[in-house]
């Protein structure tokens, strides 16, 4: 599943938040905010949809989680190049006959790239897909693990 690539990977792609607000009770406030945002909108660097991503780090590993509901395991492409991790894939539209009354879900290709906060063991990376969340666990390289040094006080 994990493969090494040689092409240059870009840094963090700007996150495009969903147009649906966390606070449905404040619809008027959020539409005002959207209006203000639109005046400063930058061209979207990544066409298609941009799934939300989290990065965690502890003593011996880096964990990356991506919110991508409704894919199959084969739809993902995970690649690692030095300290750049790229998670990409495609969500295929399930054409289920009949008439569509409402379409809010996005389909098509996505790609997210991040610079990892520390060097990792490329051959020990593993990934898991459950409940629509892709989790990639990257064990840190030995030199990156924090070493504990005891300092004695006199």
Provide the binding-site residues for other proteins, judged by CB under 8 A. Answer: 12, 15, 17-18, 20-25, 27, 52-59, 61-63, 65, 67-72, 96-106, 114, 117, 129-133, 135
* Residue 11 or 150 with smaller CB distance to other proteins: 11
User: At a CB cut-off of 8 Å and minimum separation 6, what does 141 contact?
Assistant: 118, 119, 120, 121
CA-nearest of 109, 24, 17 to 71 is 109
60 vs 82, which CB is nearer to other proteins? Answer: 60
Q: Supply the minimum distance, in Å, between the C-beta of residue 153 and other proteins.
A: 28
Give the tokens for residue 133. 């969340």
Q: How far is CA 17 from the centre of its chain?
A: 12
Q: Decide: 139 and 113 in contact? Cβ < 8 Å.
A: no
Query: How far apart are CB 71 and other proteins at their closest, in Å?
Result: 6
Min dist. Cβ of residue 32 to other proteins (A): 17
């Amino acid at each position: 599943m994990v493969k090494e690539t040689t092409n240059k990977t870009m840094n963090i792609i700007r996150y495009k938040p969903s147009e649906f607000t966390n606070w449905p009770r404040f619809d008027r406030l959020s539409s005002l905010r959207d209006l203000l945002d639109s005046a400063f909108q930058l061209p979207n660097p990544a066409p298609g949809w941009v799934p939300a991503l989290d990065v965690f780090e502890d003593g011996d590993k880096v964990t990356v989680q991506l919110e991508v509901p409704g894919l199959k395991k084969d739809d993902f492409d995970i690649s690692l190049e030095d300290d750049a991790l790229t998670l990409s894939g495609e969500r295929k539209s399930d054409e289920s006959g009949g008439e569509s009354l409402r379409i809010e879900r996005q389909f098509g290709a996505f790609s997210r790239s991040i610079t990892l906060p520390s060097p990792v063991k490329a051959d020990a990376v593993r990934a898991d897909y459950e409940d629509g969340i892709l989790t990639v666990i990257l064990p840190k390289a030995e030199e990156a693990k924090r070493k504990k040094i005891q300092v004695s006080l006199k």
